[in-house]
Structure 1
Amino acid sequence: MRFIRALTRYPQITITVLVALAALVLHAAGEPAAVRWVVTAYVAVFVAWTLVGMVRDVLHGHVGLDILAVVAMVATLAVEEYIASLIIVLMLSGGEALEDFAARRAKRDLTALLDRSPRTAHVLASPEATDSNLVRDTAVDDVEVGDVLLVRPGEIVPVDGVLVGGSGTFDESSLTGESLPVTRGTGDEVLSGAINGTRAVRLRAVRSSADSQYQQIVALVEEAEESRAPVVRLADRFAVPFTAVSLVLAGTAWALSGNPTRFAEVLVLATPCPLLIAAPVAFLGGLSRAAKTGVIMKGGTVIEQLARLRSAAFDKTGTLTQGRPDLVGVRPAGGFTADEVLLLAASAEQYSSHVFADSIRRAAADRGLDLVAAEEAGEVATNGVTASVGGRTVVVGKPAYVAALAPDTEHAALGAGEAAAYVAVDGRFAGSVVLADDPRPESPAVVSWLRANGVEHVTMLTGDARPTAESIARQVGIEEVHAELLPPEKVRLAAELQPRPVMMVGDGVNDAPVLAASDVGVAMGARGATAAGDAADVVLLVDSLAKLTDAVSIGRHTLRVALAAIWIGIGLSVGLMLVAMTGAIPAVAGALVQELVDLATILYALRALGGPAGGLTTPPPGGATESAEPARTGAGDAARGSGGSAAS
C-alpha cells in the first residue's frame, strides 16, 4: 500500500518510468521509429508543461532556472539521445519527491509541535464529578473560561488552567526547555501543552484555546511554516550567471568539436537542482533546529538577516532584567501608613497588566493585605492607573502623571537600579512604592557574546528613567543608553541605527511597533497572546536571553550551509561540464552523474539540522540561564517611568 501511495503521489515519476520501460521494449523489438515518437511526444509534453511553469515564475518576478533543463531535453532529443532525455525528465519530476523527503526530515522538529497539539478536552459537569457519565468530550476550541476539565495521566493539557484540588506532576519541556518534571499544587497555573504525569487532575480553564500558551506557540510555528524563505532570492542571484556559463560551455564544446552531440553532453550536467532544492532544504533545517531549541523564526528571511546581523538594541524591563521587580520599601507621606499606601496602590494596580503592577500586587499579598475591588478603574498607557477604591480616588504611576492630580507630589530619592510608583489619594500625595529589578544573570554574557561575534553596535532603548537605565546598562556591559523614550521615539532610533541589519529585543506591548520596524524583531517569551510576539520575527519560547545567541548561531550556520550547498552543486556541475567538453562523458552517463550531484548537495543541505553548538559555550554569570518565572507581557517598556510604576 505504501508503494501504491508513492506511485499515485508522484504520477510524473510513474509515467516517466512507464515510458522508459515502453521505450526499452520497443527498442528490443527493433522498432527505433516507435521509440523516437513515443519518447519525443512525452518529452515534448513535459517541456511544454515546464515552460508554462517558467512563464508563471517570470511573471512573479523570479528567474526560471528550468531553462537549462528544457534546453538539455530539447538538445538530447535533437541528437537522438532518448534515454538521456528521459533521465532528465525523471530528475526534474523526481526532484519534487526528493525535496519532499528532505523537507520532511528538515521540518521534523518544527512540525512535531503541530502534531501533538491537543484537539479534545474532557469537560466535567462539576469540580467534584467522578462518574464518567458526567464527563463530556469537546473540541478544545469550544472550551470556555471557567470550565472544569479532567486531564488523564499522560494527556496533554488542552488549555491554560489552574489546578482544582490536589496536586500533579507535569512535563513542561516543550514549553520551557526544562527537562525535569515540575509539581503544581491547588491554585497553581498549568500551561497548555504540558504533559500530565501519572495521576488524573482537574483544571479550571483560565484562558480560551486561542489565548492559551501552547496554541500561541502552534500559531507561531504555522506562520513560520507558511512563510517563504529567501531561497528564491538566493537562486536568482546565481541563476543568470550559471545559465550563461552553462550555455557558453556547451556552445563552445559544439563549436570546437563540430559535433552537436557534445552540446547535449555538456548541458545534461548543468541541471539546477542544487539551487532549486538544496538551499530550501537547508533553510527548513535551520527553522526546525531553531524550534527544537525553543526559538521560533518566522521564515527564512529572518535566518538570512540574523546571519548578517551588525547592530542590536535591547529593551530593559523583562528583557535585560528579570522582569519581576522586588519591593525595596514603601515611603508613605504625611497622614498615611506604609501598609495603607501599599494596599491602595495594589488595589488600583489590579487593573494593570504591567510588570511593576504585578510586583506591587505580589508585595501586598506577601504582607497579608487583602486587596479591595475598585468601583471604577482605567489606565493611561505609559503613565499610570486611576481607580476608585472604597470610595477614594487612587492614582498610581509616573511622578508627572500623579503630580498633575496631586501637586504636593514629592520625588523619591532612588538608588542605582531602583524605580518608584507614586501614589496619590483624593488629590493628595500619599507616598511612593520603591522597587528594584535586577539584570538577568545571563545578560552580561549575551551582550559580550554578540560583540565577540560581529555585532558592532549594541544599545539600550528604554522608557525608564535615565539613572535606572544607566545602572542596568553598566551591569550588563552596554555603553550607549537611550532612556525615557516613548514608542514612536524607539521606532525612530531603531531606524537610524547603523550598521544594518539591526535586531531589536523586547517583551512588552509597547515594544510591538519597534519590533515590527526593525530588520529583526525578537520577542522574549511566548506566554499568552502578546502584541510583541505577533509583531516579532523571532520568538524565544524559553524565558532566557541566552536563547538569543542560539538564534544568531543557527541563522549563521544555516546560511553557510545553504550557500555551501549551492557552491558545491555549481562547482561539481561546472567541473563535470568541462570534462564533458572533451567528449569523455556520454549523455546518458552525464545525466546519471548529475543525479548523484543533486543527491550530494541535498544531503549536505541537511547539515543545517546539526552543526556547532549554538550561542553561549560557558555558563553565564550567576549560574542558570533560565529563570523560573516568565517575563510579564504587559506594558513592558511603557515607562510609567522616571521611577514610575511601570518603568521599563
Structure 2
Amino acid sequence: MRVFRGLRLYPGITGAIVALVAVLLLRAAGEGGVARWVATAYVGAFIVWTLVGMVRDVLRGHVGLDVLAVVAMVATLAVREYVAALIIVLMLSGGRALEDFAGRRAKRDLTALLDRSPRVAHVLRPPGASRAEELEDIAVDDVAIGYVLLVRPGEIVPVDGVLLGDGGTFDESSLTGESLPVTRGVGEEALSGAVNGTRAVRIRAVRRSADSQYQQIVALVRAAEESRAPVVRLADRFAVPFTAVALVLAGAAWTISGDPTRFAEVLVLATPCPLLIAAPVAFLGGLSRAARSGVIIKSGTVIEQLARLRSAAFDKTGTLTQGRPDLVAVRPAAGFADDELLRLAASAEQYSSHVFAGSIRRAATERGLDLLTATDAAEVATNGVTAVVEGRTVVVGKPAYVASIAPDTSQVALGPGEAAAYVAVDGRFAGAVVLADDARPESPAVVSWLRENGIEHITMLTGDARPTAESIAREVGIDDVHAELLPPEKVRLAAELRPRPVMMVGDGVNDAPVLAASDVGVAMGAKGATAAGEAAGVVLLVDSLAKVVDAVSIGRHTLRVALTAIWIGIGLSVGLMLVAMTGAIPAVAGALVQELVDLATILYALRALGGPPSGLAVGDVRAPSAGARLDRSLRR
C-alpha cells in the first residue's frame, strides 16, 4: 500500500516507470522504432517541464544545476540511448522523492513540536441551575484570560496559567529540553506545551493562546520550517565550475574517441542530484537537532552565519547575569526614610518592564510594604519610569535621567557587581535603591569556550553603569566593555564591531534593535521576551547561556556536514566521469550508478542530525563564590 501511495504522490516517478516498462516491452517485441518514439516523447515532455522551471528560477535570480540534467537527457536521446534517458528522468524524479523522505526525517523534531500544538481546552464554567461545575470543550484560541481550565492526566497544557488547588508534575522537555519532570506548586505558573503528569489539575489562564509560551515557540518553529535556507546558494557556488568541468570532460571524451555516444556516457554521471539534495537535507537536520536541544534557529542563513562567527557581543542584565537582582541596601537622601523611599520606588516600578522593577517590587513586598496605585504613569525605555503616587511625582531610573529632573541628584557609592535605581520625588533627589545581580554560573565557561573556539573579539554592550558592568565583565572574563549605552549606541557599536560575522546575545525589549541589526541575534527567550525573540535569528528556549555554545557548535557541525556531502557528490561524480571517458561505463549503467551516488550523499547529509557534543562540560559551570554571597548578605 505504501508503494502505491508513493506512486500517487510522485506522478513523475509513476510516469517514468510506466514509460520505461513500455519501452522495454516494445523492444522485446521487436518494435524498437515505436519504443524509441515513446521514450523520446516522454523524455521530451520532461525536458520542456524542466526548462520551464529553469526559466522561472532565472527570473527569480537563481541559476541552478538543472542545465546539466537537460544536456544529459538531450545527449542520450541524440545518440539513441533512450533507455538511459528514461533512467535519468526516473533518477531526477526519484531524487525529489528521496529529498522529501530525508527532509521529513531531518525535520522530525521540528514537526513534532507543530503536531503537539494543543487545539482544545476544557473550560470549567460557573454553576448554573445545577451546583456542579459544567465542563465545556472550546478551541484553544477562544480561551480568555481568567478562564479556569481542567488539564487531565497526560494532556498538554493549552495556555499559560497559574495552578489552583493542589500542585502538579509536568514534563517540560518540549519547552526546555530538560528530560526530568518538574513539580509546580499552587500559584506557580504552568506553561503551555508542558505535559501534565498523573493527576488532573486546574489552572487559571493568564495569557491568551497566541501570547502563551508554546504558541510563541510554535510560531518560531513554523518560521524556521518555512524559511529558505542558503543551501540553494551553497550548491550554486559549485554549479558553474561543476557544470564546466562536466562539459569539458564530456567534450574531451567525444573528441578523443570520435564517438558522440561517449559524450552522453560521461554526462549521465554528472547529473546534479547530490548537490541539489544533500545540502538541504543537512541544513534541515541541523535545524531539527537545534530544536531538540532547546534552540530555535530560524533559517539556514543563520546556521551558516553561526558557523562562521568571529565576534560576539553580550548584554549584561539577564544575559551574562541571572536577571533577578537582589536588594542590597536602601540609601535615602535627607528627609526620606528607608521604607518610604522603597515604597514609593516600588509603587512607581509597577508600571515598568525593566528587570530591576520586579526586584524592587519584590523587595518591598517582602518588607510588608503595601504598594500604592498611580493616577498617571509613563516609562521612557531604558531610562526610567515616572508615576504620580498620592499626588507626588515619583521618578525612578538611571542617574542621568533622574538628574535631568532633580538637579540635586548625587552619585551613591557602589560595590563590585552592584547597580542602583535612583529616585526623585517632586523634582527633589530622594535617594537610591541598591541591587546586586550575580553573574550566571555558566557565563565564564561560555565566554572561555567561545574564545578557545575561534571567536576573536568578545565584548559587553550594556546600558548599565560602568562600575557594575566592569565588575561583571571581570568575573566572566570579558575585557572589552561598553557601558551606559542607549539602544541606538548599541546598534552603532555592533555595526562597527570587527571581525565579522558578529553575534549579539540579549534578552530584553531594549535589545531588539541590536539583535535585528547584528549578523546573528540570539535572544534569551525562555522568559518570554517576545520583542527580542522576534528580532533575533536564534531563540534559546532554556534559561541558560550555555545554549549559545550549543547553537554555535550545531551551526559549525551542520555546515561542515553540508560541505562534505557536496564534495562527496562532486568527487564521486568526477571520478566516475573520468572512468566513463574510457568507455568502460555504458550510458544505462552510468545512470544507475549515479543513483548510488545520490544515496551516499544523502546518507552522509543525515549526519547533521547528530554530531559531537559542544565541549562545554557540566563541570565547567561554577556557582558564584561563597565569599561574594556572604559579602552581599552582610550588606543587606
TM normalised by structure 2 equals: 0.96
Counterpart amino acid of residue 532 in structure 2 = A
Of 148-157 and 173-182, more deviation after overlay is shown by 173-182
Change (3 A) 1:563 1:72: same
Say whether the 8 Å CA contact 2:397–2:423 is kept in structure 1: yes
Output the amino acid matched with 2:378: G
Listed as ranges, the matches of 1:339-378 within 5 Å are: 339-378=339-378
* 594-603 or 3-12, which deviates more: 3-12
Contact 2:127 2:134 in 1 (8 A): no
Choose 404-413 or 44-53, whichever is displaced more.
404-413
Structure 2: state its 5+ residue gaps. Answer: 625-636
Q: CA deviation at 1:370?
A: 2.3
Instruction: Report the AA paired with residue 365 of structure 2.
Output: A
Query: For 1:432-581, what aligned pairs fall within 5 Å after superposition?
Result: 432-528=432-528, 530-581=530-581
Q: Distance in 2 between matches of 1:265 and 1:89?
A: 15
Measured after TM superposition, the shift of residue 129 of structure 1 is: 12
- Distance change (3 Å), C-alpha of 1:132 and 1:454: farther
SS in 2 for 1:505: strand
Q: Give the distance between the partners of 1:381 and 1:571, measured in 2 at CA.
A: 56
Offset of 1:102 from its aligned partner? 0.2
TM-aligned CA deviation for residue 390 of structure 1:
2.8
Residue pairs, 1:109-508, within 5 angstroms: 109-126=109-126, 134-508=134-508
Distance 2:98 2:131 in 1: 52
Q: What's 1:24 paired with?
A: 24
Residues 462, 134 of structure 1: alpha-carbon distance in 2 compared, 3 angstrom cutoff: same
Alpha-carbon spacing, 1:599–1:108, altered in 2? closer, same or farther (3 Å): same
- CA apart distance, 1:127: 9.3
Q: What CA deviation, in whole Å up to 9, does each residue of 1:476-512 have, x standing for no partner?
A: 1111111111111111111111111111111111111
Moved more, 398-407 or 197-206: 398-407
**In the alignment, what sits opposite 2:631?**
none
Paired-residue identity, %? 82
* Alpha-carbon contact 1:212-1:529 (below 8 Å) kept: no
1:423 to partner: Cα distance = 1.8
The 3-state SS of whatever aligns with 1:27 is helix
Tell me, in whole angstroms, the C-alpha distance in 2 between the residues paired with 1:169 and 1:128.
32
Task: Answer yes or no: is the 8 Å Cα contact 1:127–1:148 preserved in 2.
Answer: no
- Alignment-derived partner of residue 587 in structure 1: 587
| Aligned equivalent of 2:42 | 42
Residues 126 and 133, structure 2, Cα contact 8 Å, conserved in 1? no
* TM-score, normalisation: structure 1: 0.94
Q: Deviations over 1:439-498 (max 9, x none)?
A: 111111111111110110111111111111111111111111111111111111111111
1:200: Cα distance to partner? 1.2
Higher mean alpha-carbon deviation, 393-402 vs 158-167, is at 393-402
Q: Distance in 2 between matches of 1:439 and 1:211?
A: 29
Equivalent in the alignment of 2:628:
none
Where in structure 1 do 4 or more consecutive aligned residues deviate above 6 Å? 127-133
Decide whether the 8 Å contact of 1:169 with 1:196 is kept in 2. yes
- Encode CA deviations 1:14-44: one digit per residue, 9 max, x unaligned: 1110111111111111111110111111001
Return the letter of the residue paired with 1:162. Answer: V
Q: Separation in 2 of the partners of 1:402 and 1:128?
A: 55
Aligned pairs, number: 624
Q: Which has the higher contact order (CA 8 A, sep 6+)?
A: 1
567-576 or 394-403: which moved more? 394-403
How far apart, CA to CA, are the structure 2 residues paired with 1:529 and 1:384?
A: 19
Q: CA offset at residue 334 of structure 1?
A: 2.5
In 2: Cα distance, 1:254 partner to 1:471 partner: 73
Amino acid at match of 1:484: E
Counterpart of 1:71 in 2: which secondary structure? helix
Q: Within 2, Cα distance between the matches of 1:275 and 1:619?
A: 41
- Structure-2 separation of matches of 1:27 and 1:180: 65
Aligned to 1:89: 89
Q: 1:495 to 1:159 in 2, by over 3 A?
A: same
AA paired with 1:498? R
Structure 1 position 141, deviation (Å): 1.1
- Give the 3-state SS of the residue equivalent to 1:158 in structure 2: coil
Q: CA deviation at 1:615?
A: 4.5
**Are the counterparts in 2 of residues 327 and 436 from structure 1 also a CA contact under 8 Å?**
yes
1: CA distance, partners of 2:376 / 2:553: 49
CA contact (8 A) 1:402 1:409 kept: yes
Counterpart amino acid of residue 485 in structure 2: L
Q: What letter corresponds to residue 264 of structure 2 in structure 1?
A: A
Gaps of 5+ in 1: 625-648
1:599-644 per-residue CA deviation (whole Å, 9 max, x = no partner) reads: 00010000000111124135233259xxxxxxxxxxxxxxxxxxxx
* 1:611 matched residue in structure 2: 611
Write the mapping of 1:45-64 to structure 2, written as runs, cut at 5 A.
45-64=45-64
SS in 2 for 1:204: strand
In structure 2, relative to structure 1, the CA distance for the partners of 1:616 and 1:572 (3 Å cut) is: same
- Alignment check: 8 A CA contact 2:507 2:524 kept: yes
Deviations 1:265-324, CA, capped at 9 Å, x for gaps: 111100101110000000000010011001111110111111110011111111111111
Determine the structure 1 residue equivalent to 2:634: none
Task: Label 1:182 to 1:117 Cα distance change in 2 as closer, same or farther (>3 A).
Answer: same
The Cα of 1:343 is off from its aligned counterpart by: 1.5
Describe the superposition over 1:94-151 as per-residue Cα deviations: whole angstroms up to 9, x where unpaired: 1111000000000011111111011111111139999887111111111111111111
Matches within 5 A, 1:601-640: 601-622=601-622
Cα distance, 1:408 vs. partner? 3.2
What amino acid sits opposite 2:620 in the alignment?
P
Classify the secondary structure of the residue corresponding to 2:622: coil
Deviations 1:131-177 (A, max 9, x none): 88711111111111111111111111111111122211111122222
Q: Residues 178, 85 of structure 1: CA spacing in aligned structure 2 closer, same or farther, 3 A cutoff?
A: same
Q: Is the 8 A contact 2:124 2:133 kept in 1?
A: no
8 Å contact 1:211–1:529 — kept in the other structure? no
| Kept after mapping to 2: 8 A contact 1:262/1:583 | yes
Structure 1 residue 339, shift from structure 2 partner: 1.7
Taking the aligned partners of 2:582 and 2:600, their CA distance within structure 1 comes to: 24
- Pick which of 567-576 and 140-149 moved more: 140-149
Alpha-carbon separation, structure 2, partners of 1:64 and 1:289: 28
Letter in structure 1 aligned against 2:314:
F
- Tell me the CA shift for residue 368 of structure 1: 2.2
Matching residue's letter, 1:471: S
Structure 1 distance, partners of 2:187, 2:131, is: 23
Distance 2:619 2:346 in 1: 37
Over 3 Å counting, the alpha-carbon distance change for 1:130 and 1:253 in structure 2 is farther
CA drift at 1:373: 2.0
Amino acid at match of 2:303: I
Q: Is the 8 A contact 2:527 2:543 kept in 1?
A: no
Q: Call closer, same or farther: CA 1:127–1:576 in 2, change over 3 Å.
A: farther
Inter-CA distance 395–129: structure 2 relative to 1 (3 Å threshold): farther
